[in-house]
Structure 1
Amino acid sequence: MRLRTAGSTSLQRAAGVSKEQVDQFFDKLSELMEKYKFNAYKIFNADETGVTSVHTNRLKVMSVKGKKQVGQLISGERGMNVTILLSVNAAGNVFISPLFVFLRVRMDNDLKKDARVGSVFDAQLSGWIIKDRFLKWPALFVEGVNPTKKYPALLIVDGHSSHKDLDVLTFAKIHHIPMLSLPSCTSHKLQPLDRTVMKPLKNDYHEACSY
């Protein structure tokens, strides 16, 4: 036995990861796999994450022993959060161009500098993705994956309302994209990107900003 620092988990998330919900999700996944015979190249996960414009310093620096504070210059005391929608297939070899949502009234072309070709940009006062803006992204998905009736592509998303909108579901059906939603409040355990991609991405981002 040893003492450890407990991670914070909301009551909703703790209650959401129940055996019944998880079993129901995997039952639906099994049905889709049996029906469409997806391979790893045609199974995609899409997820949003927030990245702050002011990075968290992760590097240790040499300092005089006994000095109480060690400072590092950053662009501001508080940063602006940028929401990014990412999607990668299970094989790890296809990455769909992301959707960036900035917390502002209007887009500034300077914010698009050096972005991946084909990326989509939006400005929202809320800073989050809404249904009308999310509809911009499926077109990128179709362009990058080229799903067909013979070779459809499975897209696994979380339960956000923008993913369940009728226009989004209609677009997905027309373009042969079966969509599977994760159970509510379970993305921290079941979302593949949340488990394997987002943390390394943010760590690399903060490290790159430190130089």
Structure 2
Amino acid sequence: MAGKEWMRLFMRRHPKLVYRKPENTSLARATAFNRHNVDQFFDNYISVQQKYKLTTERNTDETGITTVLQTPKVIAKAEKKQVGQIVSAERGNLVTFCAVITAAGNYLAPTFIFPRVRIKDSHLAGSLAGAIAYDSKSGWINADIFLNLLKHIQKHTKSTKDCPI
């Protein structure tokens, strides 16, 4: 049976191989990512772009940001068996961040969705001017917030039916 020493020597013989921490991917997502579905996505994408004469000037995306950071890897002396670091005991909260950015690098002020019942002015302290905040019990975007976000985008981009984005 191969042991730790075999693994160490194997890795030494193959320097292009490295240890990586894999990202979790659901079975449904992995099996749905196939040639047929990808081709269908791009066919639909192209037809919508042509139908509405859309350009790639603007794009939007949202992501979750936790309020507690992961502990980073550190460098320590080899003889040191254990390396300590003070961390928060909290699990943290998820804050959803939504950005609207052009390919040219222009952007709208960001939108934050906090897991709160009511938003306070202090939630946006230190953020970009014009940033907006919404509250959501889960901290996730929902239909009402999404419609408000679309109105915010429309207001600041001056998009219309004749000039869609």
The answer (yes or no) to whether the contact 2:113–2:134 under 8 Å persists in 1 is yes
Q: Which runs of 5+ in 2 are unaligned?
A: 1-13
* C-alpha distance in structure 2 between counterparts of 1:109 and 1:47, whole Å: 24
| Cα offsets for 1:169-193 (capped at 9, x unmatched) | xxxxxxxxxxxxxxxxxxxxxxxxx
Q: Of 97, 107, 127, which aligns to 2:109?
A: 97
Q: Does 1:86 align with 2:105?
A: no
Map residues 20-99 of structure 1 onto 2, 5 A cutoff: 20-41=36-57, 43-44=58-59, 46-58=60-72, 60=74, 65-72=79-86, 74=87, 76-89=89-102, 91-99=103-111
TM-score by length of 2: 0.73
| Cα offsets for 1:81-139 (capped at 9, x unmatched) | 111122223x1422232221112222222111022222221222222111112222112
* C-alpha distance in structure 1 between counterparts of 2:45 and 2:93, whole Å: 37
| Cα offsets for 1:22-51 (capped at 9, x unmatched) | 22221122123333443332x42x222111
Asked which structure has the greater CA Rg, the reply is 2
Structure ranking higher in helix proportion: 1
The answer (yes or no) to whether the contact 2:94–2:115 under 8 Å persists in 1 is yes
* C-alpha distance in structure 2 between counterparts of 1:69 and 1:106, whole Å: 41
**Moved segments of 4+, more than 4 Å:** 1-6, 61-65
Q: Of 14, 24, 28, which aligns to 1:8?
A: 24
* C-alpha distance in structure 1 between counterparts of 2:134 and 2:77, whole Å: 42
- CA apart distance, 1:17: 1.4
The answer (yes or no) to whether the contact 2:68–2:93 under 8 Å persists in 1 is yes
Structure with more contact order per residue of length (Cα contacts < 8 Å, sep ≥ 6): 1
Q: What is the RMSD of the two structures over their aligned residues, measured on CA atoms?
A: 2.7
- CA apart distance, 1:20: 2.3
SS at match of 1:96: coil
* C-alpha distance in structure 1 between counterparts of 2:153 and 2:116, whole Å: 25
| Cα offsets for 1:47-98 (capped at 9, x unmatched) | 22111111123363656941513214x5543211111122223x14222322
The answer (yes or no) to whether the contact 1:36–1:152 under 8 Å persists in 2 is yes
SS at match of 2:145: helix
- How many residues align? The count is 149
Q: Which runs of 5+ in 1 are unaligned?
A: 154-211
